[in-house]
Structure 1
Amino acid sequence: MEEKVIVTIRSIAEAANVSRGTVDKVLNNRPGVSQEVRERVKRIAEEMGYKPNLAGKALAFQKKPLRIGVIILNKDDPLFQEVYEGVKKASHELKGFGITVECCVMGSVNVQEQLMCIRELYSKNISALALSPLDEEIIRNELKKLTEENIKIVTFNTDITGIERVCFVGQDLKKSGRVAGDLIGKLLPDGGNVLVITGPEKIKALQERVAGFKEIIEKEYPAIKIIDVLQNIHDNESSYLQTVEILKRQDSLNAIYITGRGIGGVGRAIRELNRRHIKFVCFDKIPETIELIKDKIVDFTITQEPFMQGYLPIKILFEYFFHNRLPDNEQVYTKLEIRTKENIDI
């Protein structure tokens, strides 16, 4: 019987003619090694059939837990409550591996509050951070500081430009806007006027949904006119007041497309002013949306698997630290589904 050869960090170091410390850095994706040496060590380790000592890693993490920080964007948003459930599920599954998940739940979508959460989690000696970043320069600079200290970042639900991150987990946002545009186009085969309602500019996801919507309308449905884009609508009160104002002065409105929160306020305005002929497309399967679909006020809602947006970032970071494995793509898209009155309860 052929004797099984155990490949160690020492044997890889000898074959690659480098120190054991260099091999350790490469196998654990730590900085301080040139790209040329990194690639050579990885190739030699693979050729030699190196397998990480998973039991040893688990024991090491149990002695000194690896901390993953998570920032939940808005505690009052039903969507982010579902995201939080996904985080808790993944955290529970990985507890035996010595992974500790530290959560900071924001009270509102506020730059200063998010900045405070980032700094609070950093002070707890985290090795990684998962968050829905606000697309502001002060947040970008703070995240850059983390990456300079080799703290790994995964973004979910909404992304940010200009930082080094492991990946983004969430809906294909431009595509979701295009899908919404196609739905409106089919609801208005003879053309018509559409009102677009969106949230704060600092949430990149919402701006991408607007961009995708405009793109498909301009390209495929030239008979449809976007009469206005209402920005910074973030709750039912503001959406209600602004929708009422527009409906009172705009008799020829045929459809409303909303990219984020405020769905209940729009529905209330349509009900009160008896404008039920207006087509209405929105996002997410939250209680107010379900009610409006059943009442035939919302025609379509587009879902995005919020539970998985909380669950997958923790699993991805576990794979990175425990198995030295990165996701295949920098964009890990969750499922996009169209829901109507006929399948809203599924």
Structure 2
Amino acid sequence: MRVTIRSIAEAANVSRGTVDKVLNNRPGVSQEVRERVKKIAEEMGYKPNVAGKALAFQKKPLRIGVIILNKYDPLFQEVYEGVKRASYELKGFGIAVECCVMSSVNVQEQLMFIRELHNKNISALVLSPLDEEIIREELKKLTTQNIKIITFNTDITGIERMCFVGQDLKKSGRVAGDLIGKLLPNGGNVLVITGIGKIKALQERLAGFKEIIEQEYPNINIIQVLENIHDSQSSYLKTVEFLKRQDSLNAIYVTNGIGTGGVGKAIQELNKRHIKFVCFDKIPETIELIKDKIVDFTITQDPFMQGYLPIRILFEYFFYNKLPDSQQIYTKMEIITKENIDI
């Protein structure tokens, strides 16, 4: 016998309206009742009517907002490709993906896009949030209206989000530190170059790097951390300036892929090829620097899946009432060298 909302309501001793809210993830039901209704529905073998939901959403589309952090960063161009692939695969289900692409890593621009998408009556928001209080407060407003949030690539604390999709960032920093440690078996001096402080991902990569160096490689000295390096030109100028006044540098660690090209250019121009170099992401500039033996290792994070998975997770949630398996969905991390750069 087919399980219906009415039969679930009778078994749970609640109204059909309450069951409808629970099964369609709408607000207005206490957590205790919500969990009880879900358990009863599962025990009774309830199966969501996906065809019916798709038909309803064809008439009134389910809107998912997406904010891409930086259109000039090749990494986020790959993220965007993942978003577009998932959107294409689900277009027959009445899902409308509204995508905004930021022109720079700017708090006010991100805030503007959050508000713009909110005004379009989105049911969910996918973004790489900047770790600023004004962004945090704006996202909190969305969650009070039952708008679901998934973060990707970089995370933010203090909000109720469904999950984070991206690299295990602390671990990636530890991996980078371990690589530097193995490149410098006798110890040495390391320069760290990192990006804008309001990107939590970079803070975590830096923390992981420092952690393993302190724990495992006491003969390695982090002589300076250059912060707020936001593009290839600024990384080039800062690296040239540093290398001209520091003769005893043995390695460079760059936490953000977009600064890699400038560092590589500085090493080439000043003929400092002895310096070991570890960075992130498989973007065109990095590929060339690996082939030219300037970069020793780069650590990837599967940006395509960072764009693809959040849309699929939201589909599973809205159509099958399925929550993600974990609060942290980690994408594949690989170490790339000259020998496997073309794979």
State the TM-score, normalized to the length of structure 1. 0.98
**5 Å matches for 1:117-266?**
117-260=113-256, 261-266=258-263
Aligned partner (choices 265, 270, 281) of residue 268 of structure 1: 265
Q: 3-state SS of the aligned residue for 2:250?
A: strand
Does residue 61 (structure 1) correspond to residue 40 (structure 2)? The answer is no
What is the CA distance between 1:52 and its match in structure 2? 1.1
Q: Which of 280, 283, 297 in structure 2 is aligned with 1:283? A: 280
Matched, 1:39 2:35: yes
Counterpart of 1:73 in structure 2 is 69
Q: Distance in 2 between matches of 1:209 and 1:39?
A: 37
State how far apart, in whole Å, the 2-side matches of 1:305 and 1:226 are. Answer: 28
Deviates more, 1:170-179 or 1:23-32: 23-32
1:35 offset after TM fit, Å?
A: 2.1
Q: Verify: 1:300 aligned to 2:323, yes or no.
A: no
AA at the equivalent of 2:246: Q
Report the 3-state secondary structure (helix = DSSP H, G, I; strand = E; otherwise coil) of the residue aligned with 1:162.
Answer: coil
Residue-by-residue CA offset, 1:62-101 (whole Å, 9 max, x unaligned): 1110000000000010000000000000000000000000
Show the counterpart of 1:113.
109
Report whether the alignment pairs 1:48 with 2:32: no
Is 1:99 the equivalent of 2:95?
Answer: yes
SS at 1:68 equivalent: strand
Question: Secondary structure, in 3 states, of the residue corresponding to 1:103?
Answer: strand
Question: What residue identity is the alignment partner of 2:131?
Answer: D
Tell me how far 1:28 sits from its aligned partner: 1.6
What SS is found at the alignment partner of 1:125?
coil
Displacement of 1:54 in angstroms is 1.1
Q: 1:281 offset after TM fit, Å?
A: 0.2
Residue 334 (structure 2) aligns with: 337
The answer for unaligned runs of 5 or more in structure 2 is: none
Shift of 1:36: 2.1
Looking at structure 1, the residues matched to 293 and 35 of structure 2 have their Cα atoms a distance apart, in angstroms, of 58
Distance 2:33 2:157 in 1: 29
CA RMSD of aligned residues (A): 0.6
Question: Residue 95 of structure 2 aligns to which amino acid in structure 1?
Answer: I
In 1, Cα distance between equivalents of 2:140 and 2:315: 21
Matched residue, 1:28? 24
1:322 aligns with 2:298: no
Superposition deviation, residue 156 in structure 1: 0.2
- Residue by residue over 1:233-253, the C-alpha shift from the partner in whole angstroms, topping out at 9 and shown as x without a partner, is 011111111111111111000
| Bigger Cα displacement from structure 2, 236-245 vs 85-94 | 236-245
1:263 & 1:188 partners in 2: Cα distance?
20
Paired residue type of 1:22: T
SS at match of 2:251: strand
Which one of 297, 304, 311 corresponds to residue 308 of structure 2? Answer: 311
TM-score for both structures, normalised by structure 2: 0.99
Structure 1 CA distance for aligned equivalents of residues 44 and 289 of structure 2: 60
Q: What residue identity is the alignment partner of 1:336?
A: M
Moved over 3 A (4+): none
